[in-house]
Structure 1
Amino acid sequence: MTNTDGQPAPSGPQESKLGRWLVIAVLCAMLVGAVALGYLGWFSTDIEVPAAGYLALVLGVMFSLVVGVGLMTLVFYSSRKGYDEPAVLIPEPESESENGRSDPQ
C-alpha cells in the first residue's frame, strides 16, 4: 500500500510507535555518549584551569546564548510580520494610450 507521494505507508500504528521509540533510544544513547565523553575530557587531566579560563568559558557561553536567542527572535519576528513571504510582482497600471483609446483633447 502506498500513499499519495508514492511512499510506502506504515501498515499500522505499531510500526510508527516502534520507529518513534527507536529514534528516542538512539538519541538517548547519543546523549549518554556525549555526557561520558564530556566527563572523561573534563576529569582525565590534572591541569588546573585559572580563574580567567573559567571567566572566558562563562562569557563565551553567555555570548553564544545571546546570539542564538537574538537570531531566533529575528526569525520569529520576520515570520510574524510577513517578511518571509515570497515576492509578488505588482503590475504597473496601464495608461489609457496603451489601451487603444485616444486621449481626449
Structure 2
Amino acid sequence: MRKTGLGTILTLAVLIGLLLLAIVFMIIGWGAPEGGTPMSTAGWIAMGFGIVVTLALGAGLMALMFYSSRHGRD
C-alpha cells in the first residue's frame, strides 16, 4: 500500500471543505425567501422531473459520444 503524502491530505481537505460550503449554500438558497411563498408540491415535482430528464439526456449524449468514438465514427 502506498503512503499518503501531505499534499494528498491537504487536497482532500480542501475539496471536502468546498463540498460542505456548496451544501450550505444549496440549503440556504433553496429555502423560501423571507415574506415569500414556498414552492408548491407541483413545483417540486416539475423541478424533480426536469432534473431527472436533464441528467438522462446528458448521460445518453455521453454514451453516444463514447459509442461513436469506439466505433471510429467521429
Q: Provide the TM-score with structure 1 as the length reference.
A: 0.55
Which of the two has higher C-alpha Rg? 1
Does 1 or 2 have the higher relative contact order (CA < 8 Å, sep 6+)?
Answer: 2
User: Sequence identity of aligned pairs in percent?
Assistant: 38
CA distance in 2, matches of 1:57, 1:44: 15
Aligned to 1:80: 70
- Structure 1 gaps, min length 5: 1-12, 85-105
CA distance in 2, matches of 1:44, 1:36: 15
| Residues 1:67 and 1:45: Cα distance change in structure 2 (over 3 Å) | same
Q: Provide the TM-score with structure 2 as the length reference.
A: 0.73
Aligned to 2:39: 49
Q: Which has the higher helix share?
A: 2
